[in-house]
A and B are shown apart, each in its own frame.
Chain A
Amino acid sequence: MRPLKTLQKLYDEESQVVITEKGSPPRALFSGENFLLEDLPVGTRVIFPRPPLAGVPNVKAAIRWAINHPEGMEPLHALLRPGMRLTCVIDDISVPLPPMATPDVRQSILEVVLELCADSGVDDIHLIIANALHRRMTEGEMRRMVGQKIFDAYYPERYYNHDAEDPDGITELERSPCGSHVVAVNRRVAESDLTVYVNVNFVPMNGGHKSMGTGLANYASLRAHHNPQTIRGSDSYMEPKKSELYRRNERIGKAIDKHLKVFHIESVLNNRMFGPATDFLHKREEDYTEGDRLKFHAMRYALSKVPRAAARTILNSVPAPYDVTGVFAGATEPTHQKILEKSWQQYVVPVQGQSDIVIFPIPFISPYSVNSILNPLLVQVMGLGYFFNLNRGVPLVKKGGVIILTHPAFDEFDPVQHPSYIEFFNRVLPETRDAVEIEKKYEREFAENPSYVHLYRKGNAYHGVHPLYMWYWGENGRQHAGKVIVAGAENNHVPALLGWDRTDTLTEAIEEARGFMGRSASISLLRIAPTVMVDVK
């Protein structure tokens, strides 16, 4: 009979949860534009992403099947009439992360839809990017997303970014007497006979009612759910049943569905974030081959030797070879339900119980820093906003526990994409970190600052109010954690302004966390990226 320990090891090979032992290999952890290689204390629970699910064999066939067999609606061809006004609305560059290798699934969907439209005599077609208060996509990014052929045919007159600040470009569908509840959408969409929403689902909080309700809205409309109260009412952004954010979006989405005819086409991807050169990052370190180890060390060495801006450019220029694992179409809710099931199937890893200390490695990219810099506010939103919420309503870290982030936390901002972030970080945070007070005192000022509005409309800047939203986004984690430590922070003032502790190394951070939580504190590491979510039992 085999000794128990060997049997345990065989069993663990099937699992995505590994408990660190004495002979366990060090872990490869993202830390901004570089990697850490860290030995973790014995007993640390390491939660790995699931292997990528198999993609559909023929993406275009899956799209055609979906639009011909929609959920709760007639097939798309039955909704098309010659001479009608049709608008295709497309998710922006904030998903997926990193951007998808071409052809992007949005391009594939558009190619099928536009061909069908042409066959049905529908010529009055506009393509609008649902960027809400995100930055406008650049011409190059827009070309890459839909392919040269569609770009040439539609850009710039009929393929453009949504402008939430265009006074003539927004239609209010509903407004409560006090103005606190506004349902506003892009005017072209409001005046279209049919809207086709082309979605790419990266995590469960994308898609569904959020697509139209957020992507095509304006500040007045977004205020109803992008606020600290809604965030505090959400146990997780990723689990619709536990999310106040989702419920408020649902209310808005239902109002939109009452007024407009929207045909959703949602697609879901697996978590194949890394191509052949770096596919070892999908693996557990136990399974690394000699070649994998060599590639890891070479990459780490190279990234540490080039200037940070160059490392960023290199990393940003590597697209992800995602596979499409499903395409569904039709009415908002039944379509999104199918997508959610697929999404959870890919991401969720069941784990037993919460931990006192949780480590989140922060990579170089976020939904708001594509082709830009992960500035301190975005580090905050990655750790306390997104990673903290990668669960089904029960956080991985115990209430009052410690969150450790690995990132250099450099004081760098992109003045082109994030001009209002600079002011928020340097002017507002030194005064207060209280999200409710910030909302009350500063939100309108940032939202209405004409310079920021101009940079949003005419440049490629995030809206003036966006850094405040980023701060609210971290509210869940901030309210829940007893302490946040950023390991490897290269300065003192960034962690101090964010209200965090800092240490030079991860080992020191774990020591400090143990000092706070007790020597017997349990530790978990969410070995992200690729994306992984937990279902805490």
Chain B
Amino acid sequence: MPAKAAFYDVDGTLVKTNVVHVYAYYAMNRGSLLGIAGRTLATAASAPLFAAMDAVNRKKFNEFFYRYYAGLSEDRLISVAEDMFEDVLKPALYEQTRDLIDQARRAGCRIVLVTGALDFSMRPLVRHLGADDLIANKMQFVGGKATGKVIPPIIEGANKANAIRSYCVREGLALDQCHGYSDSASDYAMLAVVGRPTAVNPDMRLRSIARAYNWPILDLK
């Protein structure tokens, strides 16, 4: 049997959060009291803007959003990632996430998380789930400080599909045997590129796409 992998989107698919929650956590854990208050307020105020941008264009949203990380030190980001995982991601994991991943592993799949979040913030989750690999955005650091720019290509939309395709070529995996899981219609390309797509807690658009293409629909609790 050819080697295969299961590719999982993270936000909304395996955990009930999104990148905004993650950033909000960073904002609240920013050094000084004033900094915390400032960034928390700014994030809260921007929430409707984020939502609107995300709905219209995920790419623009990501580019815009990651600017908020500018100036934060790399060490600090990595260490806060551990706390952020314990406080934000771990409690937000769907109860059935672990089963889903164990099932894929038993079926002989390599487990790969594919996310638009930043790699350092996802590392603890990768460790926790025992995933084999992570395809995520990488922040640019200059002199140990985040520049607020993401090293291109930004992992989102069609780029997720490209990243998965390149990953399969690199690792010698049969793309048509691979599984893909996502909750959002913005990941249509990622789901369409693998041979075995599945919609997980899908939004309305993805649900209708999944129905049209007869993809299985999972509702994780």
Contacts and interface: CB of A to CB of B under 8 A. Distances in A.
B196 A167 contact: no
A454 B14 CA distance: 14
Contact of A415 (B102, B103, B108, B211): B211
Given A167-B106, A449-B107, A454 B218 contact: yes
B214 A451 contact: no
A443 to B, nearest CB: 12
A448 B177 CA distance: 12
- The residue among B100, B179, B214 with the most chain A CB atoms within 10 A of its own CB is B214
Residue among B103, B106, B198 facing the most chain A CB atoms (10 A cut-off): B103
A455 interface: yes
Contacts of A167: 102, 106
Contacts of B96: 454, 458
A415 B217 contact: yes
B214 A450 contact: no
Contact of A453 (B1, B107, B219): B107
A117 B6 CA distance: 48
Contacts of A165: 103
B99 A419 contact: no
Given A445-B177, A449-B179, A449-B196, A454 B103 contact: yes
B198 A451 contact: yes
Contacts of B196: 449, 451
Interface string A17-41: 0000000000000000000000000
> On chain B, which size bracket covers the interface?
20 to 34
The listed residue with most A CB atoms (<10 A of its CB), out of B6, B179, B181, B217, is B217
Given A448-B108, A453-B107, A422 B214 contact: yes
If over half of A's interface residues share one DSSP class (helix, strand or loop), that class is named, otherwise mixed; here it is: helix
Interface in A395-420: 413, 415, 419-420
A204 B106 CA distance: 37
B104 interface: yes
A452 B216 contact: yes
A426 B219 CA distance: 23
Contact of A451 (B102, B108, B211, B216): B216
A134 interface: no
Nearest to B104: A450
Contacts of B103: 165, 450, 453-454
Interface in A432-449: 444-445, 448-449
Interface in B170-219: 177, 179, 181, 196, 198, 211, 214, 216-219
A455 B198 CA distance: 11
Contact of A458 (B99, B107, B177): B99
Interface residues of A, number: 22
Contacts of B107: 448-450, 453
Contacts of A452: 216
Max chain A Cβ within 10 angstroms of own Cβ: one of B6, B104, B109: B104
A504 interface: no
Contacts of B198: 451
Contact of B99 (A420, A449, A454): A454
B218 A455 contact: yes
A449 B221 CA distance: 20
A458 B217 CA distance: 12
A260 B99 CA distance: 30
Contacts of A426: 214
Nearest to B197: A451
A454 B100 contact: yes
A457 B99 contact: yes
Interface string B83-122: 0000000000000100110111011110000000000000
A355 B45 CA distance: 80
A423 interface: yes
Given A444-B1, A455-B218, A458-B99, A450 B6 contact: yes
Contacts of B221: 458
A227 B77 CA distance: 55
A99 B219 CA distance: 29
Contacts of A449: 107, 179, 196
A283 to B, nearest CB: 43
Contacts of A459: 218-219
A423 to B, nearest CB: 6
A448 B214 contact: no
Nearest to A413: B214
Interface in B34-87: none
Given A450-B100, A450-B109, A451-B198, A423 B214 contact: yes
19 contacts: A167-B106, A415-B211, A415-B214, A415-B216, A415-B217, A444-B1, A448-B107, A448-B108, A449-B107, A450-B6, A450-B100, A450-B104, A450-B106, A452-B216, A454-B96, A454-B218, A455-B216, A458-B99, A459-B219
- 4 nearest interchain CB pairs? A448-B107, A450-B103, A450-B104, A451-B198
Interface of A: 165, 167, 413, 415, 419-420, 422-423, 426, 444-445, 448-455, 457-459
Given A165-B103, A451-B216, 16 more contacts: A167-B102, A415-B214, A419-B217, A445-B177, A449-B107, A450-B100, A450-B103, A450-B104, A450-B106, A450-B107, A451-B196, A454-B218, A455-B216, A458-B96, A458-B221, A459-B218
